[in-house]
């Protein structure tokens, strides 16, 4: 964000102009929410506080009754300029009795605990019955990793200025931000910046296509065959033309259109038509499980590694293997196991996902309420999905969807993004309190939403 702002300023745009652009843009949203009601703006000593003074003046000029509370005078030249241009009264303290309160105490870059009068203000805001708006990021949030550095206020609306920050999509911060909206500032996209995944669109099969062109998925089952069956059912509904479940279990409850194959795994995986292999759901962690995983990796096929297999993956198992053909899908516990196996010491989820990609070379889809995708030097965040996805087996469904998409077009980043969106849409269509089999059954309907 700092680099983007500096790039604009190097081309003649002043910092004051950027602040004015941000403040007036945010004021439009505040005005929509306030709908003529009195507004209190909390201003801190930095440039986020300067944004607050611009917001306050814009609202005042539109006829709003605006109160500004600022415990400390501005400490930057641009914020001081913003304060001098505010035509109303600034008080060091006061009651948060207005129907709408705008938090501009601290913006991005906060790296220490909030203290003193700012803590008191945030505690009062936390208990207030007003409509709460955070400007850029909430004032108790570390913008780079989503940690909480002060009182946990539940906001109704968060307005990101210029660009999204990691905290907008990382827990625990993302859970307190309410609705999130972006206030554009015409800033350039900087190389290496994180991205927000956008809703994908799919095409109907070409007129001359056939099942192998659409993708053949092979799911390797293990000690708990139900998980592999669940993943297969999801893969069948995610666009793949052909799905095989490889294992020795009979599966009398398997659908008639799922192909069951048993025998030597190396031989089964030698089929050149296989577009992607999924290993991990229900695999187990025994010696045989490790041998199955190694057979998958040594096959040279594109593969999705999930669940139990993530506890078996290490540097030795990847020796001589092309990691660019591998996607791993760890939840928090599995991510910790992978980080231990690959000597990753980063503390936060974002750092661990990035470092794991750097260490192992694989594409990392670190799933959870704050899913992160890292690969090919890119970091991609996602809008929050349904919290009803916190049910056993939902990860197996995601893995099946991902294997299907990876088999279809062979792009690990695109396949991962498509899988997350399909997974979330299937959850939306499943209603509340669903189970994983309901989720797998809804994937086909979800697919239709992206055509």
Owner of token pair 């969106």: 421
Q: How far apart are CA 55 and CA 66, in angstroms?
A: 10
Contact (CB, 8 A) for 291 and 301: no
Domains of the chain by range and CATH? 2-193 (3.40.50.10260), 211-448 (3.40.1190.20)
Read off the tokens for 236. Answer: 């069948």
Contact (CB, 8 A) for 246 and 254: no
275 annotated to bind ligand: no
Name the DSSP class of 324: G
3-state secondary structure of 180: strand
396 annotated to bind ligand: yes
368 annotated to bind ligand: yes
Read off the tokens for 283. Answer: 């695999």
Q: How far apart are CA 88 and CA 53, in angstroms?
A: 10
395 annotated to bind ligand: yes
| Burial grade of 358 (CB within 10 A; 0-12, 13-18, 19 or more) | middle
Q: Quote the pLDDT of residue 222.
A: 93
120 annotated to bind ligand: no
Q: Quote the pLDDT of residue 109.
A: 86
Q: How far apart are CA 228 and CA 108, in angstroms?
A: 44
CB environment 174-189: b (16+ within 10 A), e (fewer): bbbbbebeebebebee
Q: Quote the pLDDT of residue 51.
A: 98
Neighbours of 320 (CB within 10 A): 7
Read off the tokens for 151. Answer: 């009182």
Q: Which residues of the chain have pLDDT under 70?
A: none
CA angle, residues 415, 239, 289, in degrees to nearest 5: 65
Contact (CB, 8 A) for 254 and 229: yes
CB environment 136-164: b (16+ within 10 A), e (fewer): bbbbbbbbbbbbbbbbebebebbbbbbbb
Read off the tokens for 386. Answer: 């349904």
What percent of the chain shows pLDDT beyond 90? Answer: 95
Contact (CB, 8 A) for 331 and 390: no
Cα separations (Å) of 288 from 224, 265, 280, 305?
13, 11, 13, 16
172, 128, 183, 182: which is closest to 150 by C-alpha? Answer: 172
Q: Quote the pLDDT of residue 322.
A: 97
Contact (CB, 8 A) for 413 and 373: yes
Q: What is the 3-state secondary structure (H, E, C) of 241-310?
A: CEEEEECCCCCCCCCCCCEEECCCHHHHCCCCCEEEEEECCCCCCCHHHHHHHHHHHHCCCCEEECHHHH
Q: How far apart are CA 301 and CA 90, in angstroms?
A: 65
75, 76, 100, 20: which is closest to 52 by C-alpha? Answer: 20
User: Cα-flanking dihedrals φ and ψ of residue 246, to 5°?
Assistant: -100, 120
Q: Quote the pLDDT of residue 253.
A: 87
441 annotated to bind ligand: no
User: What DSSP element (H or E) covers 225?
Assistant: helix 225-236
**Beta strand pairing call for 216-220 and 39-43:** unpaired
Q: Quote the pLDDT of residue 250.
A: 86
Q: How far apart are CA 274 and CA 254, in angstroms?
A: 21
Contact (CB, 8 A) for 39 and 100: yes
Q: How far apart are CA 336 and CA 354, in angstroms?
A: 13
3-state secondary structure of 137: coil
For the whole model, what pTM was predicted? Answer: 0.94
- Provide the H-helix boundaries in 344-393: 349-360
Q: How far apart are CA 437 and CA 441, in angstroms?
A: 6
213, 194, 192: which is closest to 203 by C-alpha? Answer: 213
370 annotated to bind ligand: yes
Evaluate the CA torsion angle 279, 280, 283, 284 in order and state its sign: positive
88 annotated to bind ligand: no
Q: How far apart are CA 284 and CA 296, in angstroms?
A: 15
User: What DSSP element (H or E) covers 80?
Assistant: helix 77-84
Q: Quote the pLDDT of residue 243.
A: 98
């Amino acid at each position: 964000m700092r680099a983007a702002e500096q790039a604009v300023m190097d081309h003649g745009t002043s910092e004051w102009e950027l602040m004015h652009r941000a403040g007036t843009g945010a004021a439009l949203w505040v005005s929509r929410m306030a709908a003529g009601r009195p507004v209190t703006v909390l201003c801190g000593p930095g440039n986020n506080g300067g944004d607050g003074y611009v917001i306050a003046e814009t609202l005042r000029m539109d006829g709003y009754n605006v109160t500004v509370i600022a415990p400390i005078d501005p400490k930057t030249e641009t914020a001081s300029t913003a304060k001098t241009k505010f035509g109303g009264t600034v008080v060091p303290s006061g009651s948060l009795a207005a129907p709408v309160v705008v938090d501009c105490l601290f913006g991005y870059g906060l790296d220490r605990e909030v203290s003193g009068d700012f803590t008191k203000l945030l505690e009062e805001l936390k208990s207030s019955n007003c409509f709460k708006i955070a400007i850029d990021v909430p004032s108790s949030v570390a913008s780079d990793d989503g940690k909480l550095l002060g009182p946990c206020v539940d906001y109704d609306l968060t307005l990101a200025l210029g660009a999204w920050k990691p905290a907008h999509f990382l827990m625990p911060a993302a859970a307190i931000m309410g609705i999130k909206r972006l206030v554009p500032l015409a800033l350039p996209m900087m190389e290496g910046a994180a991205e927000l995944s956008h809703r994908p669109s799919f095409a109907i099969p070409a007129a001359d296509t056939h099942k192998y062109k659409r993708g053949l998925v092979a799911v390797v089952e293990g000690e708990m065959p139900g998980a592999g069956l669940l993943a297969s059912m999801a893969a069948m509904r995610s666009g793949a033309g052909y799905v095989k479940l490889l294992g020795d279990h009979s599966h009398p409850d398997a659908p008639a259109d799922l192909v069951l194959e048993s025998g030597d795994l190396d031989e089964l995986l030698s089929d050149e038509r296989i577009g992607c292999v999924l290993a991990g759901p229900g695999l187990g962690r025994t010696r045989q499980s490790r041998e199955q995983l190694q057979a998958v990796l040594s096959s040279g096929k594109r593969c999705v590694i999930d669940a139990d297999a993530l506890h078996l993956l290490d540097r030795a198992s990847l020796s001589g293997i092309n990691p660019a053909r591998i996607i791993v899908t760890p939840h928090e516990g599995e991510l910790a196991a992978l980080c231990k196996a690959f000597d990753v010491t980063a503390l936060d989820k974002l750092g661990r996902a990035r470092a794991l990609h750097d260490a192992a070379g694989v594409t990392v889809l670190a799933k959870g309420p704050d899913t992160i995708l890292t690969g090919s030097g890119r970091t991609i965040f996602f809008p929050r999905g349904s919290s009803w996805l916190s049910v056993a087996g939902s990860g197996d469904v995601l893995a099946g969807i991902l294997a299907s998409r990876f088999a279809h077009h062979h792009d690990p980043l695109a396949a991962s993004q498509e899988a997350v969106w399909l997974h979330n849409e299937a959850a939306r269509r499943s209603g509340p309190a669903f189970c994983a089999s309901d989720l797998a059954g809804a994937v086909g309907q979800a697919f239709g939403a992206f055509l």
